[in-house]
Chain A
Amino acid sequence: MREFAYHRATGVREALTLVAEHDGARFLGGGTNLVDLMKNEVETPSRLVDVRHLPLDGIRETAAGGLIIGATTTNSDAAAHPEIRRRYPALTQAILAGASGQLRNMATVGGNLLQRTRCAYFADLAEPCNKRVPGSGCAAVEGVHHNHAILAWSEHCVATHPSDMAVPLVAFDAAVRYQTLDGPGELPLVDLYPPIGTRPDRETVLPRGALITAIELPPATVAARSRYRKVRERASYAFATVSIAAALEVVDGLVHDVRIALGGVAARPWRARAAEAVLLHGQATAELFRVAAEAELAAAQPLRDNGYKVALARNVIEAELTRLAGRETNR
């Protein structure tokens, strides 16, 4: 690990200044990803600004009837919160499907959104990686990529975004609030992650030195009937091959509201808008669920060794909608 200075910020403005004034400065949250990457020198900050003690934790109601999750709230506290469990159960399920109890106690929700890909080539300094060293190439396109992207990848990078938490957040139209020295900003979470294009090292559209301060969840009746399902190579404590956050509200046999997002398939949490468009106001039948799933995966471009993910994603969409619809009829 390279040497670095450590500062524990007590105010947001102090934290922003400490990062802005020093090239190579980084915010430190729970450290579960950053400290790990510092050990093998994928990350080499020369100054860490610890934001864990800023007054940014806690979960509160919005005037609109949604929730604000402070950026330094731990993943554990967010998952256990009664209002998230009641009103956005897929979010609790997604957080609990990620990492381990220990890591969820450390990790912040702000940091969760900014965690780096787990592509093995990104973490291996001996290999080329356009995310780590722009212009060096992508070892995964022709390499070991059975768990890489099937949607919206580029020849410059085929890595996936590793977060479970971000998948239901995108399904529920969450927004990210941030602060800069020039003032606050806000953007839809789905827009936080830009298209890969030729610069996979540009992982977010946040202004330089911006600090995420909160995640805003708008009210969504449909979210109370949501589920998160994660398919992975072992039963627990592993990243997704494919995951899904789905919510469905059926009235008189018709799809009244539906939300679907996928994890493990792209460089960002993937909102399944094509599937949602097919479903909305349609007859809530297994046939329609299949058609919707096919519509979403029509754009998939599997790599040499991950074609199974196309069928897997299609099947989990169909299966989870069927399960949610069954629960509706049994209500």
Chain B
Amino acid sequence: MTGDTATSQIVLRVNEVTHSLPLDNRRTLLDALREDLGLTGTKKGCDHGQCGACTVLMDGRRVVSCLTLAVAADGAEVTTVEGLAAAGELAPIQEAFVRLDGFQCGFCTPGQICSAVGMLAEHRAGWPSAVTADVSALDPPPRLDAAEVRERMSGNLCRCGAHPSIVRAVLETAAAR
């Protein structure tokens, strides 16, 4: 038999800082970020993977941190919204959200922004989406238009209804590359 314990000693790499800490295996990455590491930029909305407010990047890919167990993220590179402007300069997507009013109350914004960073990387890698007309056509990659952005960002809800501005911010950021 293998010894079973309800806690684990884990190493979380968050925004290029290494944290070694003992955690209850039930701790989600979301709660570990907010409660144990004090990184409250990442927000808890539904806590069931349905709203996207808790989106962070894990090894460069967007995930919902509410359904990621912290212990399962042991050893992964996590980037939160705090890590996007690490040098004190807003990332282009953050600047676009501010300039174009990509939010009202702001609660969904960190998740929207992390999701947009991951989504733009997916698009640059040539990934199609559910609204891409011909997924078999590998070249050229799907052109990013409003319909593509809406589909690719559908995992992030905004109850203030800022979606039109969010779509503009994502499109402007993509075009400025």
Q: Which residues of A contact B (CB under 8 A)?
A: 1, 3-8, 18, 21-22, 28, 31-32, 35-36, 39, 46-48, 50, 52, 76, 79-80, 82, 85-86, 89, 92-93, 96-97, 99-103, 105-106, 224, 235-237
Chain A residue nearest in CB terms to B111: A102
Q: Which of the 9-residue segments B48-56, B86-94, B96-104 touches chain A?
A: B48-56
User: Are A4 and B130 in contact, with the CB atoms below 8 A?
Assistant: no
Which of B74, B125, B136, B153 gathers most chain A CB within 10 Å? B136
Query: In the complex, what distance in Å separates the CA atom of A64 from the CA atom of B59?
Result: 35
Distance in angstroms between the alpha carbons of A48 and B6 in the assembled complex: 11
Q: Contacts A5-B5, A31-B69, A92-B128 hold; do A101 and B152 have CB atoms under 8 A apart?
A: yes
Residue B171 at the chain A interface, CB threshold 8 Å: no
Residue contact B130 to A97, C-beta cutoff 8 Å: yes
Please tell me which stretch of B12-20, B33-41, B114-122 contacts chain A, meaning at least 4 of its Cβ atoms lie within 8 angstroms of it. Answer: B114-122
In Å, the complex CA distance between A97 and B128 comes to: 11
Q: Is B25 in contact with A4, judged by CB distance below 8 angstroms?
A: yes
A to B CB contacts below 8 Å, 28 in the list: A4-B26, A5-B25, A7-B2, A22-B2, A28-B69, A28-B72, A31-B69, A32-B67, A35-B28, A48-B25, A48-B69, A76-B122, A80-B126, A82-B138, A85-B135, A85-B136, A86-B136, A86-B138, A89-B135, A92-B128, A92-B135, A96-B129, A97-B130, A100-B154, A100-B155, A100-B156, A101-B62, A105-B61
In the complex, what distance in Å separates the CA atom of A224 from the CA atom of B151?
A: 24
With contact pairs A18-B2, A21-B1, A93-B135 given, residues A80 and B72 touching in the complex (Cβ less than 8 Å):
no
Of B49, B52, B134, chain A has the most CB atoms within 10 Å of the CB of B49
Task: Among A3, A35, A93, point to the contact of B69 (Cβ < 8 A).
Answer: A35
CA distance in complex: A31, B24 (Å): 17
- Distance (whole angstroms) from the CB of B21 to the closest CB of chain A: 15
Q: Is B64 an interface residue (CB 8 A)?
A: yes
In the complex formed, the residue of B with least CB distance to A18 is B2
Residues of B within 8 A of A18 (CB): 2
Query: A21 to B1, alpha carbons, bound, how many Å?
Result: 7
One of B25, B62, B129, B138 near A105 (C-beta < 8 A): B62
Residues of A within 8 A of B151 (CB): 235-236
Interface centre among A7, A22, A103 (most CB of B within 10 A): A103
Given that A36-B49, A93-B130 are known contacts, is A106 also in contact with B68, CB under 8 Å in the complex?
yes
Centre residue among A86, A96, A99, A100 by max chain B CB count within 10 A: A100
Residues of B in contact, count (CB < 8 Å): 47
Contact between chains at B119 and A101 (CB < 8 Å): yes
Q: Indicate the member of B49, B125, B130, B152 with the most A CB atoms within 10 Å.
A: B130
Q: List A contacts of B81 (CB < 8 A).
A: none
Task: Tell me the B residues contacting A by CB distance below 8 Å.
Answer: 1-2, 4-6, 8, 24-26, 28, 47-49, 52, 55, 61-64, 67-69, 71-72, 74, 115, 118-119, 122, 125-130, 132, 134-136, 138, 150-156
Main secondary structure of the interface of B (DSSP, over half): loop
In whole angstroms, what is the CA distance A79 to B129 when docked?
Answer: 9
- Contacting residue for A101 out of B1, B2, B28, B122, CB 8 A: B122
Q: Are A47 and B69 in contact (CB under 8 A)?
A: no
Interface centre among A21, A39, A47, A48 (most CB of B within 10 A): A39
Report A-chain residues with C-beta under 8 Å of the C-beta of B2: 7, 18, 21-22
CB–CB A100/B52 < 8 A: yes
> B134's closest neighbor in chain A, by CB?
A89
B61 touches A76 (CB 8 A): yes
CB-defined contacts of A36 to chain B, threshold 8 Å: 48-49, 67
**Complex: A100 Cα to B119 Cα, angstroms:** 11
Q: List, in ascending order, chain A residues with CB within 8 A of B55's CB.
A: 102
A48 to B69, CA, bound (A): 11
Nearest CB of A to B170, in Å: 12
Cross-chain contact of A89 among B71, B74, B119, B136 (Cβ < 8 A): B136
How many whole Å from A159's CB to the nearest CB in chain B? 19
Please name all residues of chain A whose beta carbon is closer than 8 Å to the beta carbon of B5 when the two chains form the complex.
Answer: 5
Name the residue among A3, A48, A52, A86 with the largest chain B CB count within 10 angstroms.
Answer: A3
Chain B nearest CB: distance from A201 CB in Å? 23
Among A4, A39, A50, A102, point to the contact of B64 (Cβ < 8 A). A102
In this complex, what residue of A is CB-closest to B67? Answer: A35
Q: How far is the CA of A76 from the CA of B49 in the complex (A)?
A: 16
- The residues of A that contact B24 with a CB separation of less than 8 Å are 3
| CB < 8 Å neighbour of A99 from B127, B129, B155 | B155
Closest partner residue, chain B, to A88 (CB atom): B136
CB <8 Å contact, B49 and A32: yes
The residues of B that contact A99 with a CB separation of less than 8 Å are: 155
Give the residue among A6, A31, A82, A235 with the most B Cβ atoms within 10 A. A6
